[in-house]
Amino acid sequence: MDDPGCKQTSVRSQRLSVLDIIGEEQEPEFDRIGALVARLLRVPVALVSIVETDRQFFKSQLGLASPYAESRQTPVSHSFCRLVVQDREPLVVADSRQDDRVKDNPAIQDLGVAAYLGAPIVLGDGRVVGSLCAIEHVAREWSPDDLAILTELAALVATEIDLRAEVKRRKSAEDDLHLMARELEHRVKNAFSMVQAIVSLSLRAPDVAGLRRDLIERIGAVGATQELLATRAGSDVTFAEILKGEVAPYDPGGERLDAVGPAIAVDARDAVFLGMIVHELTTNAVKHGALNPEGQGILSIRWNAEDEGGYRWLVLEWNEDRGANSSPSAKQSVSSGFGTELLDLLIKRQLFGTIERLDSGRGLSLKLRLRLTASPEGGAL
């Protein structure tokens, strides 16, 4: 059975790293509180102790002997403060050698802990992260005033930690805002560049009547990708999400699309280009291929990632089967003219990739190899 205390300590250690406390040098704000404990309670040792899974770390220490004064930590086996955190209440020990709770603790011998008084450090969200403690080298009866003073000073330690956490949080939020502003500017530039290319290529098309419709659809595809990116607040999206957004609307019953591949994260720039590539292939499949609403075709899509030449490559296999009733002579290809030109622009010039075109007589088969700008792995699909 799992030990609940171990789980709580593990979570506590994880959160303390966020507070940026563990491993820091001694600081005057905490040292002053330790000095007050020593002066007001007239003790030789005062500690601001943060309890971790396998050790206690002294954010401040006054009066410890070597080597603990230099290392500012002990194994958790030496920790009286662990009991303060565990019980979430003060620990009062008048004579450690006679107290069943601690009489076997090696700190009695190694640190000279004969009497101990500890008050919990309780943060604003209710977490107990350590103890402010006073230590005597001889047995001592602690008074209610001693405990009251220590409790008030422990609250000051908690306030100092909370203030630092809030400052860190606000600074992080400001950094995130600056990062998001730069990312938004970058995305807008990418989107406008993509729209400009679409318009420029579309104006060459001889079918003026279809120009308006095609422009709306293609610019809409750019907008859909931007909308997906906007929901991530600066995080990457996966190729599977881009694919789903473009293809799924044409297979509402989930019977004509067979798409399988790992979760591959792509950045904002690549997402726009990949969205347009998938849009062009999907539009072609709806008009002439496996997703034609009058047919019963199947679209099979497979993808994976390969690392080569210092880059990550997205390898995409797009295979269409128009169905048993399709004519073997009805050859299908990516629409000529603008569609082919746009795909070549996206695949070869923007993503430095390659495209292999095949047709088995049952439908279009493509293999694309596309270079990704940034390539962290995403989570599972």
CA dihedral 65, 66, 68, 70 (to 10 degrees): 120
Q: What pLDDT score was predicted for residue 376?
A: 40
**CA dist., res. 24 & res. 252, Å (int):** 56
Q: What pLDDT score was predicted for residue 205?
A: 53
- Cα maximum dimension of the chain: 100
Per the confidence metrics, is the pTM higher than 0.75? no
**CA dist., res. 153 & res. 33, Å (int):** 7
Nearest CA-CA partner of 68 in 82, 51, 86, 55: 55
Q: What pLDDT score was predicted for residue 230?
A: 64
Neighbours of 161 (CB within 10 A): 25
Q: Which residues contact 204 (CB under 8 A, 6 or more apart)?
A: 338, 341
Q: What pLDDT score was predicted for residue 358?
A: 74
Which stretches of the chain drop beneath a pLDDT of 70? 1-23, 176-235, 324-339, 359-361, 374-381
Sheet of strand 257-260, all strands in order from the earlier edge strand to the far edge: 257-260, 298-308, 311-321, 364-372, 354-359
Q: What pLDDT score was predicted for residue 96?
A: 96
Count Cβ atoms within 10 A of the Cβ of residue 368 and give its class: 0-12 exposed, 13-18 middle, 19 or more buried. buried
Neighbours of 97 (CB within 10 A): 14
Exposure b/e, 203-220, CB count within 10 A at least 16 = b: eeeeeeeebeebbeebbe
Give the domains, in start order, of the chain with CATH numbers: 4-169 (3.30.450.40), 203-372 (3.30.565.10)
